[in-house]
Amino acid sequence: MNNTDSLSLAQFSVVVVPGAMRLPIIILFLVTSAYLSSTADDTKDEFAVVLTLDQSNFTQTLTKHHFLVVDFYAPWCGHCKELAPEYENAASILSSNEPPITLAKVDANDEKNKDLATEYAIQSFPTLKIIKNGGKSIQDYKGPRDAQGIVAYLKKQAGPASTEIKSTEDGSDLINGDNIVIVGIFPELSGDKFNAFIALAEKLRSDYDFAHTLDAKLLPQGDSSVSGPIVRLFKPFDELVVDFEDFNSDALEKFVEEASTPTVTVFNNDPKNHPYVIKFFSTPNAKAMLFVNFSSKPFGAFESKYHDIANEHKGKGISFLIGDVEASQGAFQFYGLKEDHVPVIVINNDREKYVKPNLEPDHLESWLKEYKDGKIAPYVKSEPVPESNDQPVKVVVADNFDDVVFKSGKNVLLEMYAPWCGHCKKLGPILDKVAVSFAKDTDVVIAKMDATANDIVHEDFEIKGYPTLYFKSASGKLLKYSGKRTKEKIIDFIKNNKDDIAQQDSRKEEL
């Protein structure tokens, strides 16, 4: 975790879904120097709005607070800096809540907190966790990133997992057609099935709104004559109301997961759609993404045909999304697409992706069949191969990756970086010095590749964070470098692992 800018689906959501999982936050409140002061002593922090925690006081603090929210951050992280003033302001408001809701923070980039970051599976910054009952219950924070949104979300999370609907006003206030609401209808608020529903609500409360009632007539939609037990899911897409009667815990959870997923996820600038976009990218399915101009004349034909195809493929391992070009610039950059490709469809399947640009509505079905039949070649995103590559650190792109790394017969140290990565920027000058030190050794190549602009098609090169360094010896041995990122350590590593090409050639001649 330390010294690496983490790569995760959440970060991908930043790129593809501006305003969603990592909402850009307008800083409305200035943070005083007192709020910014940091200490590892919880007792010294007792008057601070946000508690500062670390490995030494974390467990002790958990025992003091029944409901604790922890922001795992890194000082260099831009999104963390945007969140900080909103988080501080929310903490100030929630400190006077009854009962108080406590907000805390942990510098997960600090070496002394590395075990905490591992224990809580921190893979991107900032990550917020809601920790209850001394650590017995841990859930991801999935709410807004502005102060008022944080306050509203946490008040709801601190309350009952499911609220009782006692009047038609209660029903209409909660079920307003804007989001997913799951309601249990029961003849009495007790028994195994009611308890199973409450357990489901507690488990999934960070994702959905739950309620229960004794009278289906209080609900704005659905069969009002049922007495239950039954679970009714309200949603703003596809069929608007779905009932379910199996109270087995696994069956209930599967029902909610499937019923709450749109047949076709819509990706545009409407923030109401963003939670479904995040869910789309979280699925293990292959992902089909059609990008069109929503204001263009052909959009209606594309939308209709695409929905038909999505319905035909339900439950067959492919999820479908339709995106407006206006909102899709981040996705275009990520997938290496251009606006003159529109209308364009992309299928992302594990490590490979497939692209069909400039298609017509009638092309969709036949192209998808060719993909499923294995007749479409994968698309590889690549920057142009450099016309000159005479700098100490050589530039590698997807189109010359094999030539430089595998076919050159050299010992190659390759850095895979991201332009926005702070640790990569620090490493750059160090690698320049390493390359200069090997300038007279023609057997060694120091290289770098922008892994956000080029696809890595070799499965042996695994990237979980930036920068990631690999060393490929002249004989083909592949090693991941995990040592200290100093000039001396990297040079020693190369010298200890490189092959002597002259010796190899002489051995071949002897054979």
* Residues belonging to the active site: 77, 80, 421, 424
Cα 62 to Cα 70: distance, rounded to the nearest angstrom = 10
The token pair that represents 173 in the structure block: 């206030």
Provide the sign of the torsion angle of the four alpha carbons 424, 425, 426, 429, taken in this order: positive
The token pair that represents 337 in the structure block: 């697409």
Please state, in angstroms and as integers, the Cα–Cα distance from residue 476 to each residue in 347, 465, 468, 472, 489, following that order.
32, 24, 18, 6, 22
> In angstroms, how far is the first alpha carbon of the chain from the final one?
47
- CA nearest to 189, candidates 219, 220, 161, 215: 215
Residue 236: Cβ within 10 Å count: 15
DSSP strand pairing (344-349 vs 286-292): antiparallel
Neighbouring-strand partners of residue 480: 470
Task: Show the CA angle centred on residue 466, arms to residues 291 and 350, nearest 5°.
Answer: 45
Rounded to whole angstroms, the maximal C-alpha distance in the chain is 92
Provide the sign of the torsion angle of the four alpha carbons 21, 26, 29, 33, taken in this order: positive
- 3-state SS record for 443-494: CEEEEEEECCCCCCCCCCCCCCEECEEEEECCCCCEEEECCCCCHHHHHHHH
